[in-house]
Amino acid sequence: MSRIQTRFEHLRAQGRTALIPFVTAGDPSPEVTLELMHRMVAAGADLIELGVPFSDPIADGPVIQRATERALAQGVSLRTVLGIVRRFRATDDETPVVLMGYLNPIEVMGDKAFADAARAAGMDGALIVDVPPEESHELVDAIKAQGLDLVYLLAPTSNAERIEAIAEVASGFVYYVSVKGVTGASTLDIDEVDAKLAAIRARIALPVGVGFGIRDAATAAQVARVADAVIVGSALVGRIETLAEQGHAERIPTVIGDFLAELRAAIDETDHGGRHG
């Protein structure tokens, strides 16, 4: 059983919703990312998504695009990201880490070489944004041969056929994009999300995490009432950007940790009195 599966089973037994933060690896530096990962876990993160910098992040909004540019300016590559995970694993062997990125850097490395390196580094899964399930068989085989999970995105526009296709190949959890558009969108209709999750769960037995549009404790609590995981990205990356621009990169782990602790408290309050209660 993978670390991701183990973590979700543990949370389910406790009646708790997972908190999954996303940050771009290497923004504003690999050292800050490593410290930040540990601080996020201490603040209540259950899994971590690490974004791999890529020159053409088509699914990401301007906030994460700029984070990618900052990381690329630091020379951060896929191998750099795996190195950060390896160092994280030196003192944390329990928190699942999912790589989130695009196919091109993996193709450069090679499917099998990537899967082997990811496993050796201590990665638990991958979400490759631009790999549809119909075209990912070689990568799926390489990743699953190493016991890693392959996470897929579902959207408000995903029909039953698409959900069925992802059910065939996904493992660990699935990521539901709660609003149409790129990352950083802000319009969140929780009733629509709830209805779509019901349609997804009718076909996929995996936990369903919900991201996009989660910007504060209130929206995190809303999502926690209907989802198995609350995924937050742009709200974190925007804070990182502000601190880096102000010359206060050393404050990033503390500020992000404090913000995640607020989300964690709101989610736990919902779990104790709402959906899981």
> Mind telling me the catalytic residues?
49, 60
Residue ranges with strand state E in 29-151: 48-51, 97-101, 125-128, 149-150
Q: What is the pLDDT along the chain (277 residues), one digit of tens a residue?
A: 799 999 999 999 999 999 999 999 999 999 999 999 999 999 999 999 999 998 876 666 788 889 999 999 989 999 999 999 999 999 999 999 999 999 999 999 999 999 999 999 999 999 998 888 877 678 888 999 999 999 999 999 999 999 999 999 999 999 999 875 444 445 678 888 999 999 999 999 999 999 988 999 999 999 999 999 999 999 999 999 999 999 999 999 999 999 999 999 999 999 875 454 3
The structure's pTM equals 0.94
Angle between helices 190-201 and 217-224 (to 10 degrees): 40
Q: Write phi, then psi, for 50 (nearest 5 degrees).
A: -110, 120
Tell me if the bond preceding 132 is cis, omega within 30° of 0: no
Which one-letter DSSP state was computed for residue 92? -
Task: Provide the CA 105 distance to its chain's centre, in angstroms.
Answer: 18
Q: How far apart are CA 69 and CA 21, in angstroms?
A: 20
SS (H, E, C) 133-165: HHHCHHHHHHHHHCCCEECEEECCCCCHHHHHH
Q: Are 144 and 111 in contact (CB under 8 A)?
A: no
Q: Are 137 and 165 in contact (CB under 8 A)?
A: no
